Every structure is written in structure tokens, then in C-alpha cells.
């Protein structure tokens, strides 16, 4: 099966990339640039795609989004060193459905059989429409928008990032190459996504040492 995969180089999309390849699917990863602060995400995504001998396509969304700390340089990213939940200032209303629409368009143009939406439980922190209703809506958009020719794959809607990292480690995938920072700085260890990722990576490393 040929699958379009929105691919950011983060934990969720990297887990989906390796899961699809391990199951024998042909994957078309696309990087969707919606104007986020971080300009180096695409570089990490391209390196991860190269690791499995494929190349990444890039698509730019030209639509307007509400102001967010992920988009507007004048808005400082909130920190969450002592909490796991990211601030609402990092969420971008409307982006979830824009990603789905862009991925579907790519799938139709490139004659793909499916669109994989690699969103885990934590995605609701950054995509306010990601919930049970949003998942059903995504499936309807992809199915009806393609005339039933493209199906939706949503493998991680009930998975935690810890579970996905464990899956990547078990597959000998380069989970350490995944990217999370929204500031454009390497390993800022300060923004919401970096703090969450570091906590999970530390837990995973500690478990490996115990084993």
C-alpha cells in the first residue's frame, strides 16, 4: 500500500514512518510548513526520511492562523519545566484540519491508497480539534474527499509518546534523531515540547539501564 504521511520529524510521525515501513508499505512523507518559528524541523525530518531511503516532500500552507507562540516571533514560548501539559498559547486552532486537507491533496495527486495521521494522545495539547469527534471528522474528510479511493490510518490515537519511543527503540530506529523544539534552537530544553521529550527520553534511558 502507498501511504501519504504528514512528517515533522517528531516522535509521533517518526514512529508512524517506521511502523509503515516495517509492515511493507511504500511511504510518501510530506513536511507541511505552516509558518512555525522553527525552521530546522524540515532538516531533521529529511535526515530521518533518508535513514529509511526515502525523500521528503515539502508543502507550504498559505492560510492565515490565529496568533500562537508557535507562529508569531513576538510571542514568547511558555516554559513548563515542572509540568507535562503545554500551554494553550502553543496550540494553533484550525491547523489539524489544514494538515488533513494538505495530506489528502498530496495522496490524490500521487495516487496513494491511504493517509496516515500520526497523532498520539499528547496531540490534543497543540491541536484543539484532535479528539474523538475530530478523528471521525478526519476519516470522513479523507474518505469522502477522495471519493472512497483513499482511506485514513490513525494508528496512535490512544498511544502515549512513551509507548511510541519504546516502539522505536525496539525497532532499532534512531529515536534520538527525533525533533521537538519550537524555538529554532538546538536542544533549548526550555520550551514545552523539549521539556516533555526530555522527560520521556530520560525515562526510556533509565529503563534501558535497569534492563
Distance CA 41, CA 50 (A): 14
Rg (CA), the chain: 16
For residue 102, give its domain range: 2-210
What local confidence, expressed as pLDDT, does residue 86 receive? 60
What local confidence, expressed as pLDDT, does residue 115 receive? 98
What local confidence, expressed as pLDDT, does residue 196 receive? 77
What local confidence, expressed as pLDDT, does residue 41 receive? 86
What local confidence, expressed as pLDDT, does residue 184 receive? 75
What local confidence, expressed as pLDDT, does residue 198 receive? 80
CA angle 105, 18, 99 (to 5 degrees): 25
Average pLDDT along the chain, 211 residues, taken 10 residues at a time: 95 94 95 88 90 91 86 82 65 93 96 96 88 94 96 93 86 84 76 78 72 59
What length does the chain have? 211
Residues 6+ apart with CB under 8 A from 114: 1, 2, 3, 4, 107, 150, 151, 152, 153
What local confidence, expressed as pLDDT, does residue 136 receive? 94
Q: Are 118 and 5 in contact (CB under 8 A)?
A: yes
Residue 141: give its domain's CATH number. 3.40.50.620
β-pair partners for 28? 4
What local confidence, expressed as pLDDT, does residue 118 receive? 95
Number of domains the chain is built from = 1
Residue 158's nearest CA partner among 126, 135, 190, 174 is 135
Amino acid at each position: 500500500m502507498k501511504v501519504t504521511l504528514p512528517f515533522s520529524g517528531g516522535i509521533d510521525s517518526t514512529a508512524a514512518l517506521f511502523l509503515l515501513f516495517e509492515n511493507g508499505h511504500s511511504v510518501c512523507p510530506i513536511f507541511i510548513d505552516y509558518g512555525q518559528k522553527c525552521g530546522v524541523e524540515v532538516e531533521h525530518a529529511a535526515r530521518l526520511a533518508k535513514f529509511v531511503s526515502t525523500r521528503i516532500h515539502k508543502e507550504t500552507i498559505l492560510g492565515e492562523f490565529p496568533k500562537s507562540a508557535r507562529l508569531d516571533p513576538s510571542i514568547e514560548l511558555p516554559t513548563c519545566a515542572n509540568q507535562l501539559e503545554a500551554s494553550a498559547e502553543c496550540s494553533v486552532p484550525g491547523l489539524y484540519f489544514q494538515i488533513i486537507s494538505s495530506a489528502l491533496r498530496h495522496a490524490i495527486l500521487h495516487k496513494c491508497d491511504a493517509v496516515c495521521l500520526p497523532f498520539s494522545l499528547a496531540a490534543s495539547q497543540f491541536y484543539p480539534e484532535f479528539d474523538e469527534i475530530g478523528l471521525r471528522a478526519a476519516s470522513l474528510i479523507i474518505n469522502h474527499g477522495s471519493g472512497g479511493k483513499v482511506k485514513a490510518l490513525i494508528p496512535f490515537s490512544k498511544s502515549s509518546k512513551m509507548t511510541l519511543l519504546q516502539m522505536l527503540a525496539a525497532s532499532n530506529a534512531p529515536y534520538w534523531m527525533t525533533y521537538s523544539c519550537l524555538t529554532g534552537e538546538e536542544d533549548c530544553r526550555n520550551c514545552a515540547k523539549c521539556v516533555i521529550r526530555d522527560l520521556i527520553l530520560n525515562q526510556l534511558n533509565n529503563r534501558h539501564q535497569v534492563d
